[in-house]
């Protein structure tokens, strides 16, 4: 039977198959931008818990493997797992902090058990969570993207400066490397054209790395030292222990993670121009997050969740094919298994990678602003929804420790600016537009054609 598409059948941009060389180039760009997260996660766990170097290196390989396989699953989509969108997966910052807190309060076996329990809990909570998707209109999604940008810029800005109080804090060399990387990225986007303009982010990172080599901040001395092939070890800390009470903070964060995944799914589906009901694919995304976290937990990692980082890459390049992130996932698997590649990725200075990440996250914020431009702020409900969400979301981001006097279990949600901002946006939007009669525009006129305040 002839399966050749008819001339009238147009392939959606998200399903476009690119030439192999182009595919690998764009995939590499995704990997270079998100590589900081797995590397940072492994060394944060190793340094915080005082693990031996070989255990830390093995953990980094495990994180790369889990991220790569989960990213492929998200992009391919099979048996109800994966949104079939161009996603990459990373170890989330907030769940990593919770993982470390559990490990310090109990032990690593209990922390590993908490990750596995949370992966299973995703499946139990998902049917209830999907009923709430109608309460995520454009004003909530736009607010969420803006808060994602602010939160991630703060986190990666902290990676550029280093730990406060340390001798290297805010060193001129590190900040200069980050600024050079950002400046080169902007210049490449302005001066180049065609495919070169689309990979401006990657070229900016490579330019920053080149400056680091010339200045002596980057060395290749240890890249070829050690084994060539690395196989991550299952349960590197021993067989997991399952303690429901100790796992509670991570289980609570699971709901926050599903909220983040919802916003990222709807935003990405909109950006790539996917047809159909975007909300229908949210459960597929969350199931893939759950499976990736289960797999990662078995190899000693924290939760592996959908990344907002590559949303900025998609917007910057205009390349919307999910086959690009399939290629990126395959490269992450290679990074996990071929040890010199992983050591090469680790050799790139944190300031260069974080500088690249900052410009990408700023693009995510611009995307949020673009969505909010379509919202009618002459309506009191929309104005107060955004104002309240930004107030509750930005406070814990710009004032760390704002809720430090509150009980520990409340700080998990209250101290997460993205979670608080999103939750506030949803609740205030419900208050104005789903309870009783919807408020009229302040100027007395009709609502805008795109009534972004409506939840369904």
- Residue 451, pLDDT above cutoff 60: no
Distance CA 299, CA 170 (A): 34
pLDDT at res. 181:
94
Bridge partners for 89 per DSSP: 306
pLDDT band at 450 (very low <50, low <70, confident <90, very high): very low
Residue 441: per-residue pLDDT: 52
Check if the beta carbon of residue 325 is closer than 8 Å to that of residue 310: yes
**Residue the block writes with tokens 């709807």:** 266
Span 219-246, mean pLDDT? 84
Q: Map residue 232 onto helix, strand or coil.
A: coil
Residue 47: enclosing H or E segment and its boundaries? helix 36-48
Decide if pLDDT at 412 tops 70: no
Instruction: Look at residue 142 and tell me whether its pLDDT is greater than 90.
Output: no
Across the range 220-241, mean pLDDT stands at 84
Res. 456 pLDDT band, cuts 50 70 90? very low
Q: What integer pLDDT is reported at residue 287 of this predicted model?
A: 93
d(CA 43, CA 20): 33
- Best CA proximity match to 357, nearest among 27, 36, 96, 28: 36
Cα-Cα-Cα-Cα dihedral of 3, 15, 283, 152, to 10°?
170
pLDDT on residue 3: 52
* Mean pLDDT, the chain, integer: 82
Phi-psi map region of 300: left, alpha, beta (phi>0 left; psi -120 to 50 alpha): left
* Residue 446 pLDDT level (bands cut at 50, 70, 90): very low
SS3 sequence of 165-197: CCCCCCCHHHHHHHHHHHHHHHHHHHHCCHHHH
Mean pLDDT score, 109-133? 88
Predicted confidence at residue 391, as pLDDT, reads 94
Task: Please say if the pLDDT value at position 214 is more than 90.
Answer: yes
Q: What is the pLDDT of residue 185?
A: 92
Q: Is the pLDDT of residue 256 over 80?
A: no
What was the pLDDT predicted at 29?
Answer: 81
pLDDT mean over 330-335? 90
CA-to-CA distance for 271 and 376, rounded, in angstroms?
21
Comparing 425 with 276, which gets the higher pLDDT?
425
Mean pLDDT, range 401-415, rounded to an integer: 79
Helix axes 282-298, 53-76, angle to 10 degrees: 160
Residue 455: the pLDDT is 42
At residue 308, the pLDDT reads: 65
User: Which helix (H) or strand (E) is 89 found in, with range?
Assistant: strand 89-91
pLDDT of res. 448:
39
Residue 136 exposure: Cα atoms within 13 Å on the Cβ side:
25
Neighbours of 414 (CB within 10 A): 19
Q: What tens digit of pLDDT does each residue of 89-103 get?
A: 888 766 777 788 788
Return the CA Rg of the chain: 22
**414: nearest Cα among 304, 258, 249, 293:** 249
- pLDDT score recorded for residue 4: 52
pLDDT per residue as tens digits for the range 261-320: 887 888 888 888 888 777 788 899 999 999 999 999 999 898 898 876 667 778 777 888
- Quote the pLDDT of residue 143: 87
Helix (H) / strand (E) element for 324: namely: helix 322-337
Q: Which of 32-41, 149-158, 284-293 has the lowest mean pLDDT?
A: 32-41
Range with top average pLDDT, 32-41, 187-196, 220-229, 386-395: 386-395
- Give pLDDT, residue 94: 66
**Are 56 and 279 a contacting pair, CB within 8 Å?**
no
Tell me the per-residue pLDDT of 333-387, one tens digit each, with 9 for 90 and over. Answer: 988 888 887 778 777 888 888 888 888 778 878 878 988 998 999 888 999 999 9
What count of other Cβ atoms lies within 10 Å of the Cβ of residue 437? 6
For residue range 10-23, list pLDDT tens digits in order.
778 888 888 988 88
CA–CA dist 71, 80 (Å, integer) = 15
């Amino acid at each position: 039977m002839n399966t050749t598409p008819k001339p009238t059948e147009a392939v959606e941009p998200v399903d476009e198959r690119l030439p192999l060389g182009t595919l690998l180039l764009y995939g590499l760009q995704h990997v270079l931008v998100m590589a900081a997260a797995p590397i940072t996660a492994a060394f944060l766990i190793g340094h915080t818990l005082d693990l031996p170097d070989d255990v830390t290196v093995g953990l980094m390989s495990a994180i790369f493997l889990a991220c790569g396989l989960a990213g492929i699953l998200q992009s391919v989509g099979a048996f109800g797992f994966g949104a079939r969108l161009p996603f990459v997966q990373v170890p989330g910052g907030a769940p990593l902090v919770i993982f470390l807190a559990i490990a310090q309060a109990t032990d690593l076996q209990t922390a590993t058990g908490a990750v596995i329990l949370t992966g299973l809990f995703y499946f139990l909570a998902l049917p209830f969570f999907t009923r709430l998707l109608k309460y995520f209109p454009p004003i909530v999604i736009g607010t969420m993207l803006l808060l994602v940008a602010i939160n991630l810029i703060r986190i990666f800005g902290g990676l550029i400066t280093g730990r406060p109080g340390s001798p290297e804090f805010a060193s001129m060399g590190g900040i200069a490397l980050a600024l050079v990387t950002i400046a080169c990225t902007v210049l490449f986007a302005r001066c180049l054209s065609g495919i070169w303009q689309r990979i401006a982010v990657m070229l900016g990172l490579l330019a920053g790395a080149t400056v680091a080599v010339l200045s002596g901040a980057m060395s290749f001395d240890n890249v070829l030292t050690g084994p060539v092939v690395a196989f991550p070890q299952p349960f590197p800390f021993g067989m997991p222990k399952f303690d429901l009470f100790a796992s509670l903070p991570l289980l609570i964060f699971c709901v926050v993670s599903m909220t983040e995944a919802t916003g990222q799914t709807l935003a990405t589906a909109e950006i790539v121009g996917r047809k159909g009901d975007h909300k229908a694919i949210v459960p597929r995304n969350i199931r893939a997050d759950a499976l990736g976290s289960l797999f990662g937990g078995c190899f000693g990692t924290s939760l592996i969740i959908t990344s907002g980082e590559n949303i900025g890459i998609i917007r910057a390049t205009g390349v919307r094919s999910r086959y690009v992130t399939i290629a990126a996932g395959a490269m992450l698997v290679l990074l996990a298994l071929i040890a010199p590649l992983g050591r090469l990725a680790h050799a790139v200075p944190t300031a260069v990678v974080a500088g690249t990440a900052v410009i990408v996250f700023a693009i995510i914020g611009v995307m949020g602003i673009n969505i909010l431009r379509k919202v009618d702020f002459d309506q009191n409900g929309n104005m107060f929804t955004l104002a309240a969400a930004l107030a509750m979301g930005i406070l814990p981001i710009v004032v760390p420790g704002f809720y430090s006097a509150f009980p520990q279990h409340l700080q998990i949600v209250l101290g997460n600016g993205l979670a608080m901002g999103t939750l506030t946006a949803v609740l205030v939007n419900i208050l104005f537009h789903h309870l009783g009669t919807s408020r009229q525009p302040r100027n007395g006129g009709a609502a805008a054609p795109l009534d972004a305040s409506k939840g369904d």
